[in-house]
Amino acid sequence: MKSLVENRFGLLALVLVALLAMYGVAYVTRPAHTAGGVAALPPSTQVPVDTVTTVCPAPSGETVSVVVPVAVGEAVVGSPTTIPAQGVSGVTVAEFRKEGDPLAILDRHGQVWHEAVETDAPLKIFGTGEMAGLESAYTSIETKGKRRGLSATRCADPVPTTWMIGPGPAAAAVTLHLSNPGTTPVTAEILVYSGEGPVYGETDNVVTLQPGENHRIDVAEFAPSALVLALEVRASGGRVAAMAEAVLHKNRGVDWMPHAAAPATRVVVPGVPGGGGGRELLVAAPGQSATQVEVKTLTEDGLQAVSGREVLDVPAGSVATMELSGGLGTKPGAVVITSRVPVVAGVVAAGTGSKKDTALTAGALPIDLGSVVADNRTEGKQSSHLVLSAPQTEGRVLLQMAPREGAPSDPVEVRIPAARTVNIELPHEKGASSPFAVVVTPLSGSGPVYGGRILEDRGAAGLMLSVQPLAAARSWTLVPSLTESTATVMP
């Protein structure tokens, strides 16, 4: 052995043998590759959420709805494996920063809490364990005065970044609501993009919220002359629940700006109402580059360009608008936008009649893990519709209604043809009485599905309406699987 080590050629041979053995083991244990030569990743793990906190606007006598739905069907994303939830379960509804008994406690799946709440404080709704997958909503109906209209919103999650898009202070009284339901102070930075570009006002755009604190901010302090705007709220040191309400001038209605999908090069704005009235597209390019976006509408007739307005120029850091009424006609649908640079998008929809109302919708993500809308109504002159769109391949979902009283309805399968939109009036003929929650669950093999819930009230003075884009249900989250790789230690 000593002579072998002293022989430089023998030592080189030992090194080569060791290297060959190491690479041989690596080759045998390498990850499987697809036909395209890319390593096949193991499926993600579908993990139940342990705790959920949402914040609803101060009800002031209006209605708040909370439900923890019964799970229906299976999710569509990659046939993931699942891990069951564990621990103590329950949902509490309580006022912000108020000691004492909560307003309500929910202890079973399928239970719908639907109440008018007399408080001027926001509500904090907290779920844990198997009851963590809650859904909550706020709904207001005013028949007269400056706030006449139907306004509804999904109660907000505290998150690091929130995007919203809609009318600006020159067209509406816009109030931004910021809440900190956490246990540590949070700093929120407010960024405003208008039709004239980014807004750099003299007013401080940074707000510090102590635990349990909420602020209401008049957006006119930042951008008093903006006709349209996009809002970005960035949180540091924690998470912030952000919501914005727009009360349009000249009694043209009221609604909440739904949370918009983060800037992307492809955006789908679902749940655009049909019927008469204007439909205005808003597109914001918050980055440093201008862009030209391609705009198409997606209705029951398919995916079509807007005649004479196929593209929209959007300056850097600005919001641009396009009239869509000619592209949609009187049919509900979605708007599909493609761009070279990431953009945020939404639609302002006006009602008809002698007195106007306005509904707002915004870009959303596909509901791969399902979606829930907590407050739907079909009594009297009120109606609820689901507008589901499948921009690519055919979509297949299950619908189930959970009434305030009684057992949930039987699940019903709905198919959305490829590159089409379907309009579903709720409840189904075997559905539930009003009010009720609706659960939408994509089935295995379904293509991406986008949707919105349209709530309407057809009073004598005109149509009142509101749109809630379907967002991912809070019951589950996907955790990427980990694989061993030398890439993590390679320079």
pLDDT digits (tens, 9 = 90+) for 283-309: 999 999 999 999 999 999 999 998 788
Q: Return d(Cα 52, Cα 180) in angstroms, integer.
A: 14
Question: In terms of Cα–Cα distance, which of 184, 138, 140 is closest to 158?
Answer: 184
Query: Is the CA virtual torsion 264, 268, 273, 274 positive or negative?
Result: positive
The predicted structure's pLDDT at residue 460: 72
What's the total number of domains in the chain?
1
Helix, strand, coil shares of the chain, percent, nearest 5, are: 10, 50, 45
The predicted structure's pLDDT at residue 483: 59
Q: Is the pLDDT of residue 469 over 80?
A: yes
- Considering the domain boundaries, does residue 209 fall inside one? no
- Considering the domain boundaries, does residue 448 fall inside one? no
Query: Is the CA virtual torsion 16, 21, 23, 27 positive or negative?
Result: positive
Average pLDDT over residues 302-317: 92
SS3 167: strand
What angle (nearest 5°) sits at the alpha carbon of residue 161, between those of residues 157 and 167?
90
Beta-sheet pairing, 214-218 with 358-362: unpaired
The region of weakest confidence among 28-37, 380-389, 474-483 is 28-37
At 491, the pLDDT band (50, 70, 90 cuts) reads very low
Instruction: Say if residues 304 and 256 touch (Cβ distance below 8 Å).
Output: no
- Considering the domain boundaries, does residue 453 fall inside one? no
Average pLDDT over residues 230-237: 97
Q: Return d(Cα 83, Cα 45) in angstroms, integer.
A: 8
Query: Is the CA virtual torsion 304, 267, 199, 241 positive or negative?
Result: positive
The predicted structure's pLDDT at residue 372: 96
SS3 16: helix
Which one of 79-93, 259-273, 346-360 scores highest in mean pLDDT? 259-273
Long-range CB contact pairs, 84-89, < 8 A, 24+? 84/48, 85/48, 85/50, 85/129, 85/130, 85/132, 86/129, 87/50, 87/128, 87/129, 87/130, 88/128, 88/129, 89/128, 89/129, 89/130, 89/131, 89/132
Instruction: Say if residues 451 and 440 touch (Cβ distance below 8 Å).
Output: yes
> Cα 294 to chain center, whole Å?
22
Domain span at residue 316 reads 261-349
Question: In terms of Cα–Cα distance, which of 150, 81, 94 is closest to 127?
Answer: 94
The region of weakest confidence among 47-56, 184-193, 241-250, 437-446 is 47-56
At 12, the pLDDT band (50, 70, 90 cuts) reads low
* First vs last C-alpha separation in the chain: 36
The predicted structure's pLDDT at residue 61: 94
SS3 387: strand
- Considering the domain boundaries, does residue 377 fall inside one? no
At 490, the pLDDT band (50, 70, 90 cuts) reads very low
User: Strand runs (DSSP E) across 143-290, as ranges?
Assistant: 149-154, 161-167, 172-179, 186-194, 197-198, 206-209, 214-218, 228-236, 241-248, 254-257, 264-272, 279-285
- Considering the domain boundaries, does residue 318 fall inside one? yes
Which one of 48-57, 124-133, 382-391 scores highest in mean pLDDT? 382-391
The region of weakest confidence among 25-29, 310-314, 417-421 is 25-29
Q: What is the CATH number of the domain that holds 300?
A: 2.60.290.11
Q: Looking at residue 99, what DSSP letter applies?
A: -
